[in-house]
Amino acid sequence: MDHVLGCATSLVTCQKVFEGPLLNSLVSINQGLRMYIIEDKGGAIALMLASLLFLGTWPAVLTLLERRGRLPQHTYLDYSITNLLAAVLIALTFGELGDSKPNMPNFFTQLSQDNWPSVLFAMAGGVVLSIGNLSTQYAWAYVGLSVTEVISSSMVVVIGTTLNYFLDDRINRAEILFPGVACFLVAVILGSAVHASNAADNEEKLSGSTNNYKLGENGSVEPSKDVIQKDAPKDLENGASPNKYVVKAEAGTAEYLIELEERRSIKVFGSSTFIGLGIVFFSGVCFSLFSPAFNLATNDQWHTLKEGVPHLVVYTAFFYFSISCFVIGIGLNILFLYRPMAGVPKSSFRAYLNDWEGRQWALLAGFLCGFGNGFQFMGGQAAGYAAADAVQALPLVSTFWGILLFGEYRKSSRKTYILLGFMLFMFIIAVAVLMASSGHRSTK
Average the pLDDT over 435-444 and give the result.
Answer: 59
pLDDT of 154:
77
pLDDT > 90: percent of the chain = 31
Q: Residue 167 — pLDDT band, cuts 50, 70, 90?
A: confident
Neighbours of 103 (CB within 10 A): 12
Q: Can you give the chain as a three-state secondary structure string?
A: CHHHHHHHHHHHHHHHHCCCHHHHHHHHHHCCCCCCCCCCHHHHHHHHHHHHHHHHHHHHHHHHHHHCCCCHHHHHHHHHHHHHHHHHHHHHHHHHCCCCECCECCHHHHCCCCCHHHHHHHHHHHHHHHHHHHHHHHHHHHHCHHHHHHHHHHHHHHHHHHHHHHHCCCCCCHHHHHHHHHHHHHHHHHHHHHHHHHHHHHHHHHHCCCCCCEECHHHCEECCHHHECCCCCCCHHHCCCCCCECCCCCCCCHHHHHHHHHHCCCCCCCCCHHHHHHHHHHHHHHHHHHHHHHHHHHHCCCCCCCCCCCCCCHHHHHHHHHHHHHHHHHHHHHHHHHCCCCCCCCCCHHHHHHCCCCHHHHHHHHHHHHHHHHHHHHHHHHHCHHHHHHHHHCHHHHHHHHHHHHCCCCCCCHHHHHHHHHHHHHHHHHHHHHHHCCCCCCCC
Phi-psi region of 218 (alpha: psi -120 to 50; beta: other; left: phi over 0): left
Q: Residue 305 — pLDDT band, cuts 50, 70, 90?
A: very high
Q: What is the pTM of this model?
A: 0.76
pLDDT of 439:
59
Q: What are 180-239's pLDDT values in tens digits?
A: 888 877 877 887 788 778 778 878 888 876 554 444 443 444 444 444 343 433 333 344
Report whether pLDDT(63) > 50: yes
Highest mean pLDDT range out of 4-13, 50-59, 103-112, 189-198?
50-59
Q: Is 381 exposed, middle or buried (0-12, 13-18, 19+ CB in 10 A)?
A: buried
Higher-pLDDT residue of 269 and 297 is 297
Report whether pLDDT(35) > 70: no
Mean pLDDT score across all residues of the chain? 78
Report whether pLDDT(394) > 50: yes
